[in-house]
Amino acid sequence: MKIVFKTLFYIFIFLINYSCYTKTEDKSKLSDTLSKIEGIPMPCEESDFPINIASGTDTLKIIIQASDCGEWGGHKESIYLQRNIDDKLYARYILDTVPCGFIVEKDGFGVLDDKRRVIILDTIKYLTKEDEKLISVFIQRLVELYLKHELGSNAGTIYEVSYTDLTMKFTYWNSGDCRDTYYRKVREQLFGDILKKKNIKYKKICC
């Protein structure tokens, strides 16, 4: 009787384990099948560089024009990003100033005369991985705001992101309510030290 009981006990344990294994295997197969059927995307692999689109063969440009002169615009701050042969990302930062009293016509609109612009800072800096991450977040934030396409007043900060070969280009006009693009954080972290050293006060940028 004991032998029969032991035999039945082992058979019971085997059936439970086999059932659990089969269910787990079936769930795995079902998950794979559903993934293929529903087209669920696989997670993207993390790039070694937060801004992998910045390469050594092209320049990623970020140009910001403030509204010092109201609807006419204002000074410009430009960041040019390029990766060198050692895979280090460097940023060239250019800051200018422009008088508000000189308006010219361009494409049927009145704009500030670019010939009157004077560069007051032109500097280059190699970026850390944290700097690169911050710029990546900043660009993603611009895209998010750009897709919302919210417009307010006829004055505001204009952000333009593009490649030099124009394979990518979009412009975001931050007007009306001041929507935080994180640009002030970018400028402070990347170029705050050099701006303070040169005793250049921060120009008016919405955000």
Query: In sequence order, what are the residues at sequence separation of 6 or more whose Cβ sits closer than 8 angstroms to the Cβ of residue 67?
Result: 73, 74, 155, 156, 157, 204, 206
Please tell me the predicted confidence (pLDDT) of residue 51: 75
Give just the sign of the alpha carbon dihedral 142, 172, 205, 179: negative
| Positions in the chain whose pLDDT score sits under 50 | 1-2, 4-27, 30, 34
Residue spans per domain, the chain: 1-43, 60-197
Please tell me the predicted confidence (pLDDT) of residue 120: 95
Please tell me the predicted confidence (pLDDT) of residue 23: 43
Please tell me the predicted confidence (pLDDT) of residue 167: 79
Closest CA to 130 of 198, 62, 189, 56: 189
- In the block, tokens 């895209």 appear at 143
Tokens of 203: 């120009």
